[in-house]
Chain A
Amino acid sequence: MSILGRLLRREDPHSLAAPYALDALEPGERRRFAKHLQGCDRCAAEVRDLAEDAVRLAWSTAAPAPAALRERVLAAVRTTPQERSAPARERTPQLPPHVWGTQPPPGRTRTPRTRSLFVPFATATAAAALVVASLFAVQAHRTQDRLTAERSRAREIAHVLAAPDARATTSKDARGRGIGVIASASEREAVVTLSGYGTPPGGRVHQLWLVRPGAGPRSLGLLAGDTPLVAKGLATSSSSLAVTIEPGGGSAQPTSQPVVQLSLNSVGFGE
């Protein structure tokens, strides 16, 4: 084959974006194009859009799954272990390894309590994912005039995540509603996310409290939907976080029982 012929036959990698999004490449091509994507921001953005379009083709195909499938899958799930870590990818905010629970927190002079040693890894991941997920949701849906505030919050969150002793924990109820926290005792800061609680009816609000031994609860502010709240100046003796439903604007002291409470022991707080 002539050199010209070979050049003409050579693929322009960009043109493979649509076949890639449709899963219409052969395995070798798929691998090569996936590799190309890592260094081509324009292609990656295009593939993301085209892949969303392709998924819409699936809308027209939904069909009730056989009942026996449900039983088999749910039974298998009870005995199937999960992959423990998300592989590192571009565009994913990189949390320090200790946040993910793969390393003990550095720089802690106190002997870690047994309890903090046994924070399940998956719990830390879920809490971090909760917070990161909310952050992305927030940034994707805000109009320009609110972006500045969001960016400044994102910087504050990044600051907590970057702390050498940042740890994560989460708690959820049977209905899947949850609270997640990533906290640093050395920075005395925490990022708190509420998930699945919606907005209280009648103009009331979710208010976040810091519970300290020997002192009344201290308000950390109002939680708006699943937007992460950055709390600062936390006393290291603080024992837990609590969320109550309060009248619009919030209260000076809680006026109702907490709808959810989360111990801060496993993230390095408390005595």
Chain B
Amino acid sequence: MRADELLVLVAGGDQRAFEDLYTLVSGPVYGLVRRVVRDPAQSEEVAQEVLLEMWRSAARYDPGRGSALSWILTLAHRRAVDRVRSARAAGEREQREALRAGEPAFDQVAEEVEAGMEREWVRRCLRRLTDLQRQSVTLAYYDGYTYREVAERLALPLGTVKTRMRDGLTRLRECLGGAA
């Protein structure tokens, strides 16, 4: 059964459907959180919050607005970004992060994961963006920086970063169209 159908059953309190849904989405959720948060223990904590929220708030899912997987990953990304920002605000990793600015660590978790078609497609498409488009998009999405922080790091005006983000996402869509 697809995630969309399972999530609807989960909204009705079906725990078996939740187990099946967990099997489908835990890898994508954990991997995304790990990519953004980095620290394994904190990643596990955030992933747990997200997966429990998927149970608690299943009734909020609106099939008219997109797939269940998108809904869950959007939730996971928001939580991961919130976590990494509060960690940054606490000054934990400022130095380390500064060194990595601009070059997303594609291989961070790669050794743990079997190479998938989707992963290859996304990487290939990211490489087709201009440097500024790719950096604007990945610093925000994978590293959890706000667009103001991205602008500072890349020494670009705010307006330029917003445009690069939009153009980057749009080009990604065009490139990934055939892979969906």
A265 at the interface (CB under 8 A from B): no
Contact check, B63 vs A62: say whether CB atoms are below 8 A apart: no
Instruction: Known contacts A63-B30, A63-B112, A176-B6; decide if A24 and B146 are in contact (CB<8 Å).
Output: yes
A170 at the interface (CB under 8 A from B): yes
Instruction: Known contacts A49-B173, A77-B52; decide if A178 and B9 are in contact (CB<8 Å).
Output: yes
Contact check, A65 vs B26: say whether CB atoms are below 8 A apart: yes
Interface string of B17-34 (1 = CB under 8 A from A): 111101000111111101
Contact check, A137 vs B63: say whether CB atoms are below 8 A apart: yes
Distance from B6 Cβ to chain A, minimum over Cβ atoms (Å)? 7
Contact check, B28 vs A196: say whether CB atoms are below 8 A apart: no
Contact check, A174 vs B16: say whether CB atoms are below 8 A apart: yes
Size class of the contact patch on chain A = 35 or more
B153 at the interface (CB under 8 A from A): no
Contact check, A24 vs B140: say whether CB atoms are below 8 A apart: yes
Choice from B11, B81, B161 contacting A126 with Cβ under 8 Å: B11
Choice from B4, B47, B121 contacting A69 with Cβ under 8 Å: B47
Contact check, B27 vs A63: say whether CB atoms are below 8 A apart: yes
Contact check, A22 vs B63: say whether CB atoms are below 8 A apart: no
Instruction: Known contacts A82-B55, A133-B63; decide if A62 and B173 are in contact (CB<8 Å).
Output: no
CB neighbours (8 Å) of B65 from chain A are 48, 91
A233 at the interface (CB under 8 A from B): no
A-B contact count (CB 8 A): 233
CB neighbours (8 Å) of A24 from chain B are 140-141, 145-147, 150, 165
CB neighbours (8 Å) of A81 from chain B are 56
Instruction: Known contacts A55-B74, A62-B27, A64-B113; decide if A176 and B60 are in contact (CB<8 Å).
Output: no
Interface string of A19-53 (1 = CB under 8 A from B): 10111111000000000000000000000111111
CB neighbours (8 Å) of A26 from chain B are 146, 148
CB-based nearest B residue for A137: B63
Instruction: Known contacts A63-B31, A69-B47, A122-B12; decide if A57 and B172 are in contact (CB<8 Å).
Output: yes
CB neighbours (8 Å) of B81 from chain A are 23
Interface residues of B in 54-79 (CB under 8 A from A): 55-66, 69-70, 73-74, 76-78
B-side interface mostly: helix
B116 at the interface (CB under 8 A from A): yes
Cα A17 to Cα B169 in complex, Å, equals: 11
Contact check, B169 vs A125: say whether CB atoms are below 8 A apart: no
Instruction: Known contacts A58-B28, A91-B64; decide if A85 and B165 are in contact (CB<8 Å).
Output: no
Cα A26 to Cα B147 in complex, Å, equals: 9
CB-based nearest B residue for A92: B62
Contact check, B63 vs A176: say whether CB atoms are below 8 A apart: no
Contact check, B165 vs A22: say whether CB atoms are below 8 A apart: yes
Instruction: Known contacts A63-B30, A64-B30; decide if A126 and B8 are in contact (CB<8 Å).
Output: yes
CB neighbours (8 Å) of A177 from chain B are 1
Distance from B152 Cβ to chain A, minimum over Cβ atoms (Å)? 13
Interface residues of B in 145-176 (CB under 8 A from A): 145-148, 150, 159, 161-163, 165-166, 169-170, 172-173, 176
CB neighbours (8 Å) of A19 from chain B are 140, 146-147, 161-162, 165
Instruction: Contacts A24-B145, A126-B13 known; list 11 others, CB within 8 Å.
Output: A15-B163, A48-B65, A49-B173, A54-B74, A59-B28, A64-B30, A69-B51, A82-B55, A126-B12, A172-B14, A176-B1
Could you list which residues of chain A lie within 8 angstroms of chain B, going by C-beta atoms? 15-19, 21-26, 48-66, 69-70, 72-74, 76-78, 80-87, 89, 91-92, 120, 122-123, 125-127, 129-130, 132-133, 136-137, 170, 172, 174, 176-178, 195-196, 226
Sample (22) of A-B pairs whose CB atoms are under 8 Å apart: A15-B162, A15-B163, A48-B66, A54-B141, A56-B173, A58-B32, A59-B121, A61-B28, A62-B31, A63-B109, A63-B113, A66-B30, A66-B44, A69-B48, A73-B22, A82-B58, A92-B64, A125-B59, A129-B59, A133-B5, A172-B14, A176-B17
